[in-house]
Amino acid sequence: MKNFFDFTGKVVLVTGASSGIGRATAELFGECGASVAISYLKNKSGADEAVAAISAKGHGRFVGNADGSAVGTATVSAMAFQADVTTNEAVVKLVREVEENFGGIDILVNNAGSLVERLRTQELSEARWNEVMQLNATSAFFAAQAAIPKMLEKGGGAIVNVTSIAARNGGAPGSIHYSSAKAAMLTMTKGLAKEYANQGIRVNAVSPGVIDTPYHETFTAREVWNNMSNVIPMGRVGTSAEVASVIAFLASDAAAYICGETIEINGGMLMD
């Protein structure tokens, strides 16, 4: 039987991959044989740890960071790239650096994003609105735009956008900027999918619900977090690994006829 999760020979870029869902996704692709580019903003140690974790699972091929420093040997390769994806210039530079080190990207996972801070409507400035939109949605579009030419040269590819349940339910109070940006990603996913489906590039998205990540350590009050499981039919919050496995599925040939879809990963909290 074909192993649909063998990504040997594939180049994967995961943005925002130094912790949480991004890191779990990067490490899973590495475990499945891919060469993985890990982008990060400030958490260099987390990115380096992800590179080391991927490297430790293989044998015999050099693995290093973008600055040339070695972190081990493996049958897969991984590198960390620092990038502030709130600027389009940095996004394009990131994609070009990955291509220079690995070759054309086969799989792009647009995971970078954040609420930045909770703000009610009357507190939300134009600058903060633009920052959150750029970080979550605009960066994803320009990463796709930059990666697609090489995908077309290689005969196809896969893009997976990481949106949020907030895109469907409006999010918790103080997150209208974040939920709006994530909703934009839903529409973007469908638009890109329609444009490139007949050229071999599949574009899909995942929409995580309540997942145990550093996001909630920062933006969710402890008393609210402790009661989360009460509103989830499965009775528990999700894990980053559970989201990563769906991302890998959408990028794999097992999802060869899935295009323009968003998979909800929320333990039954929101059902179509």
Which residues carry out catalysis?
178
Neighbours of 8 (CB within 10 A): 11
Residue 202 CA to residue 188 CA, distance in Å, equals 13
- Token pair 């977090």 is found at 225
Compute how many other C-beta atoms are within 10 angstroms of the C-beta atom of residue 124: 16
